[in-house]
Amino acid sequence: MSASGTAAAGHVEHMLRQVTPGRYDAYEALLKALADPANGRVWMLLWHGVPGSPDAQYGTMEIDGVGYAPCVTSAQELAVSGWNRAHEVVTGLDIARALYPDRSGIWLNPHAPGGGVGVPWPDLRRIATGLDRMPAGPLRLSEPAVEIPHFYALLAQNAHRTTPIRSLRRVWVQPALGAPYLAIGLDLYDTSRTSVDAVRAMMQQSIAAVPEGLPVSTVAMSDEYDPVTMWLRANARPFYDRDAHAGGAAPAPGYGFPPQSR
């Protein structure tokens, strides 16, 4: 193996050794190592075929109902694992882009004492699209408890004037690392540039009503891979719904306002 390959393996393996239960900072450092286009390589284990062949297929394993493709972090680990079929050396970026759309993660060094470390598909997506663009998981998601009825009312009022918006939802997001924040789910009739620009302007107009120091972000309800969006679709009813208004449906009690604390 080349000197650069040795350095790549050493960087990822060093970060992997730091990961222990609850050490989310160490896990985040591992993701950064995998995302490094120069040094973030893994040795993917092929169950069928050889690299580049039409029948090439990664191995698969399932942990707690989630699918993973096993891999190792160096040629040395490959030898220790006893794997006697073909393998493929790829960058973390490339394997992340290939696997996350199928909701499959990677499992690093499953042969190692303790069973190795799994990187689930939402984190592969973060690697593929940029670690700083999405919050660090695992996420704790819940109904917002912060009382800001003026902001919600203004947001609903401005959304009603912004025709691309179908509905709005809300969720309180607590990342594994970083400050918690309020996320607004934006459900649009279309995602054309004109529509997106109009919605961005609407949010900028509304954000003035947010209390100082309260972080607010947005997520697209059309994003089927965003864990925040997935939670919103499954657990949160809209606090603004244009179609319900058009149909003459009466708003539910507390419509546009957070639930009362008990």
- d(CA 80, CA 37) in angstroms, rounded, equals 26
Q: N- to C-terminal Cα distance for the chain?
A: 62
Q: What is the DSSP string of 4-64?
A: HHHHHHHHHHHHHHH--TT-HHHHHHHHHHHH-TTT-EEEEEEEES-TT-TT-EE--EEET
CA dihedral 207, 169, 128, 117 (to 10 degrees): 120
Distance in angstroms (rounded) separating the CA atoms of residues 170 and 165: 14
What pLDDT does 235 receive?
A: 97
Q: Spell out the domain ranges in the chain.
A: 3-133, 140-246
Intervals of the chain under pLDDT 70: 1-9, 245-262
pLDDT at 238: 96
| Tokens standing for residue 161 | 């004037």
Please give the CATH topology (third level) of the domain spanning 140-246: GMP Synthetase; Chain A, domain 3 (3.30.300)
Q: Which value, to the nearest 10 degrees, does the dihedral of the CA atoms of residues 251, 256, 258, 262 take? A: -40
**What pTM was estimated for this model as a whole?**
0.83
Each residue's pLDDT tens digit, 114-124: 999 999 999 99
Residue 1 has a pLDDT of 39
State residue 250's pLDDT score: 38
